[in-house]
Amino acid sequence: MNNKKNIAVLVSGGGTNLQALIDAQKSGIITSGKITLVISNNAGAYALERAARADIKSAVVLKRELGSQEAFEGAIVDLLTENSIDVIVLAGFMSILSESFTSRYPERIINVHPSLIPSFCGKGFYGLRVHEAALEYGVKVTGATVHFVNEIPDGGKIIMQKAVYIEDGDTPEVLQKRVMEEAEWKILPASVEKVCSEM
């Protein structure tokens, strides 16, 4: 089967979700696509080390060097085009992409968000802030959502969701880890496979 979709993963930090995708590819959860490129907007991201270990090509694109959002996104588009990328996965990518970028790839950009959208999402909700907000609000159930990316932060069509129960004594850090292990690392690879297989 040679018609696997080429997947690019965009990262900014440690790359735990990238690792979940690499592991899912190895274990046969992702069979309709193959990670062929990792792009980071942070030269020091540990995710680049993970890519190197898995023998995946990587590139660093720095907005401050390019001077504008337009030039930054243009450099990413060039890399995606050169590498014949079909599906883009945002895995802890700490840069909001403009409408001119997202509109080029309708229903081909996937993001994982650490809450059950529409709760605790949108502008300003990322990383630990999401879990802090969930605990402050006192919800009993949180989770993760994988969705398509459009011009509205966390506003694209939902692909998959998985609930995670909040436990007494949870701190934002403890909750973040549980949401990753029980939800993000499961539904992100499953969603990537679903999107690749339906293309």
Catalytic residue among 108, 113, 131, 186: 113
- E strand or H helix that includes residue 139: none
Active site residue 113: yes
* Nearest-angstrom CA–CA distance, 184 and 150: 20
Helix, coil or strand: residue 7: strand
Cβ neighbors of 17 (< 8 A, separation 6 or more) are 91, 92, 112, 180, 184, 185, 188
Nearest-CA neighbor of 149 among 108, 193, 199?
Answer: 108
Cβ neighbors of 164 (< 8 A, separation 6 or more) are 141, 142, 143, 144, 175, 178, 179, 182, 183
Question: Which residues are marked as active site?
Answer: 113
